[in-house]
Amino acid sequence: MQAMENKEPSNTEADLSEINSQHRIRPPKLQAQSQNMSSSPVLRDEEAVDTLREAFGEQERKLDHALKKSLGLDDSLEIRTKKDRKPVSRLRSALSFVLTLAICVVLALLFTRFVLQRNTVSGISMEPTLTEKDELFVDKISHLWRDYDRSELVTARTDKKTIDGKTMVVIKRIIGLPGETIKISEGAVYLNGEELAEPYLDASVATYVAANSFLEVTLAEDEYFLLGDNRTESYDSRKFGPVKEADLIGRVWFRFYPFDRFGKP
């Protein structure tokens, strides 16, 4: 009976033993793998983002291309790199510069023709208010919505010619407005029968007509009477007569030179 108990294990027991030995966990190998994992670098912040972009960027572009294609969109035009871009030719650059310069010149001419004009005082007819070589800006557009007023300084064309044959332009002060009657007598200026107060002049200044003669004029509905502040040395309406509104160029707006007299005269 004892001899029978020491018999060899059956085939079924041998197979189970072999299976268990194949699936048995080997601690040394797992330990080595754990050490390898712990020694690998950990990606953080920007590194992790860059790694994900490298891994999935190409796949994302492929999916984007497939989506555009399914929607019927044209994806054939790619953004060119700097190497692919054609350099602008010198001729094209030159033409572009010339065109820009021409536009600037035209705009400047239009501005000075219709909006603001620079004038230089010549002579002493407006002293002491304006002196020779004062540099002024003349407003040429505000008269379109605002009428000229008495005592304003204006520039105007006259029927007299300069040495080079151009129309003489004068800078004077408005004394009489359309429809008013101006009279100059005994050194004083009268407006509609009453002596005109002129606070911009020194009290000693007297206004005379040539050879102490008498002058009286009633202005038309489009005429203005102009006088210079230096009454003894001014070529003004006492000599060339009333000025048509169409011959008024604009208001003296600003004196920008000399700097010690900078501002509105």
Please determine, for residue 254, whether its predicted confidence score (pLDDT) is greater than 70. yes
| Helices of type H across 89-181 | 90-114
125 as an active site residue: the answer is yes
What is the CATH code of the structural domain delimited by 145-249?
2.10.109.10
Q: What is the pLDDT of residue 221?
A: 96
Q: What is the pLDDT of residue 29?
A: 47
Q: What is the pLDDT of residue 130?
A: 97
Q: What is the pLDDT of residue 33?
A: 47
Edge-to-edge strand ranges of the sheet holding 215-218: 194-195, 188-191, 181-185, 215-218
Q: Greatest CA separation found in the chain?
A: 174
Q: What is the pLDDT of residue 91?
A: 85
Q: Where are the domains of the chain?
A: 145-249
Cβ contact 247:170 at 8 Å: no
Q: What is the spatial distance between Cα 81 and Cα 203, in angstroms, rounded to a whole number?
A: 79
Pick the residue with more confidence: 132 or 5?
A: 132
**What percentage of the chain carries pLDDT values higher than 90?**
53
End-to-end Cα distance, the chain = 144
Q: What is the spatial distance between Cα 218 and Cα 178, in angstroms, rounded to a whole number?
A: 8
Q: Report the pLDDT averaged over residues 139-160.
A: 94
Map tokens 């379109």 to a residue: 144
Map tokens 């054939």 to a residue: 76
Q: What is the pLDDT of residues 195-246, one digit of tens each?
A: 999 999 998 999 999 876 889 999 999 999 999 999 999 999 999 999 999 9
Q: What is the pLDDT of residues 112-140, one digit of tens each?
A: 878 899 999 999 999 999 999 999 999 99
As given in the structure block, the two tokens for residue 154 are 């204006």
Q: What is the pLDDT of residues 23-48, one digit of tens each?
A: 444 444 444 444 444 444 554 556 65
Among the listed residues 29, 83, 125, 185, the single catalytic one is 125
Apex 171 CA angle, 185 and 116, nearest 5: 145
Taken in order 234, 235, 241, 242, the sign of the CA dihedral is negative
Q: What is the pLDDT of residues 62-115, one digit of tens each?
A: 666 666 666 565 545 444 444 555 566 888 888 888 999 999 989 888 888 788
Among the listed residues 172, 183, 234, 237, the single catalytic one is 172
Residue type, 171: I
Please determine, for residue 152, whether its predicted confidence score (pLDDT) is greater than 70. yes
Pick the residue with more confidence: 43 or 153?
A: 153
Residues contacting 169, CB < 8 A, separation 6+: 119, 155, 156, 157, 158, 249
Q: How confident is the model at residue 184 (pLDDT cuts 50, 70, 90)?
A: very high
Alpha-carbon radius of gyration of the chain: 49
Please determine, for residue 5, whether its predicted confidence score (pLDDT) is greater than 50. no
